Amino acid sequence: MSLGGGQNTEGTNAGGIFVQFNQDCTSLVAGSSSGYHLFSLTPDDGIEEIYASRSGQDTCLVDRLFSSSLVAIVTVSAPRKLIVCHYKKGTEICNYSYSNTILAVKLNRSRLIVCLEESLHIHNIRDMKILHTIRDTPPNPRGLCALSPCVDHCYVAYPGSSAVGEVQIFDAVHLNAKCVISAHDSPLAALAWSMCGRRLATASERGTVIRVFAVPDRTRLYEFRRGVKRCVSIACLAFSACGALLAATSNTETVHVFRLQDGAAEEGGAGGQGGAAGGQGADAEGAGDGAGDAGEGGAGGWMGWLAQAVSAGAGYLPAQVADVLAQGRAFAAARLPTTGHRAVAAITNMQRAPRLLVATSAGVLYVYGLDAAEGGECPLLRQHQFVDPAPATATATATATGQHAQRPAHDHDAAAGASYAGKLRGRDPARITGTEPLHLTSDIPNPNP
């Protein structure tokens, strides 16, 4: 659920602001040139700033442990150093330095994962000691990895190859390799765990097919076609808390929502829309490039009707054609008012009503209504400019849709030049800090809220 996942040559906070939702989608965190910011999501579709560090340090990575006071940050000035803070006390708990630039940081109530380009470091969240290091991983310049929010199924997923879409699953509690999933023919672009840690969503760099696998048995449960007219860069995949819905953002203006039918509950079995048994089947991402975009084929669209018709006579069609026609289409979709900024999504409930939340690297949060029964087009209810990318100040001002004129679009090329990778480019490596030892101050606080 962070801007770090997906094809991006400009680093984890390309476009100016790093933004992501916390593990249970109850708050939003952002890193900007002035420091890091924490926001709570309010029941009235609003957003409230609860903390702003205003340290003046350009923050390129930040993550909050659920709704606790524990925050992990990485700054542009020290990209190899992880800083763990207690934001309510305003104190630094510890810092730890690595041999290379930190590309991603993931937290749950048991483990903290630090992802470098060719290694992953697993820490115990309670004392920050390194428990294990996965070395010599395939080159992973985008820092793509995902940590299950569930401590009972505390798995780490990361690319097992830089050439094809192979996923390595590692048990972060028992510290052993769990399984390998051959998810796609193309390299991976996005990974996401369900809240129970037993389902993993994947997308490749082609961006046309999204798959959901059961872990650790590697069964392919669902397969959805985002689109076939064009290949896109998937930026984010996000499950709803119940596991019944899956959202996907990309470099287009459309945010897709897929429904996992006949097994929507986390303990449910395979089957339903787009279901496909046997995880390692032939990849159908390249087939049917003229069939139309995902927006054309909801459950009641012509592609949905055709898929139902094909299911009866699938034995008479080539396997690849049958696979394409059997893939599920988007259940719902939302249109972003502007494009050119990377976006992350979350599906949550506000006032007992489902909501699709989309936060962008321009510092804007969009709140969409979501009809969990009928799907369809998601109406834009509210939008909030929570951080101004230039200058970076936390305003968290909410406006009802249509009440105020749209903010002028920021120049994307200039914003990309101010990105994480852009700021590091051309620096003398000898001046990049990264050799400080681990410093522990007081006891690690209880990470539970």
Read off the CATH number of the domain in which 51 is found: 2.130.10.10
The whole-angstrom separation of Cα 158 and Cα 178 is 12
Q: Does residue 351 belong to any structural domain of this protein?
A: yes
* Domain contains 214: yes
9 occurs within a structural domain: no
Q: Which helix (H) or strand (E) holds 325?
A: helix 319-326
Domain count, the chain: 1
Does the residue 6 lie in any domain? no
Q: What residues form DSSP beta bridges with 413?
A: none
Residue 406 lies in a domain: yes
Cα gap 107→312, rounded to integer Å = 45
What per-residue confidence (pLDDT) applies to 173? 97
Model-wide pTM > 0.85? no
pLDDT at 328: 76
HSE-CB for 331 with a 13 A CA cutoff: 22
Q: How far is CA 243 from CA 31, 179, 222, 346, 364, in A?
A: 28, 22, 12, 12, 26
State both tokens at 293: 């975009």
In a domain, 448, yes or no: no
Say if 2 falls within a structural domain.
Answer: no
Distance CA 192, CA 157 (A): 9
Degrees, nearest 5: CA angle 279-284-290: 155
From residue 313, how far is each of 301, 310, 327 by CA, in Å? Answer: 19, 5, 15
Position 426 scores a pLDDT of 44
- What pLDDT sits at residue 231? 75
What is the pLDDT at residue 265?
40
**Integer Cα distance of 303 and 228 in angstroms:** 12
Structural domain range at position 373: 18-440
Q: pLDDT tens digits for the chain (449 residues)?
A: 555 333 333 334 444 799 999 999 999 999 999 999 999 999 999 999 999 998 889 999 999 999 999 999 999 999 999 999 999 999 999 999 999 999 999 999 999 999 999 999 999 999 999 999 999 999 999 999 999 999 999 999 999 999 999 999 999 999 999 999 999 999 999 999 999 999 999 999 999 999 999 999 999 999 999 866 567 899 999 999 999 999 999 999 999 999 997 543 444 333 344 444 334 443 455 443 333 343 333 444 544 555 555 555 545 555 555 455 456 789 999 999 998 899 999 999 988 899 999 999 999 999 999 999 999 999 999 999 999 875 433 333 333 333 333 333 333 333 333 333 334 444 444 444 433 333 333 334 444 44
Is residue 99, in this structure, part of any structural domain at all? yes
List, in sequence order, every beta strand (DSSP E) within 215-288: 220-225, 234-239, 245-250, 254-259
Structure tokens at 344: 């992350």
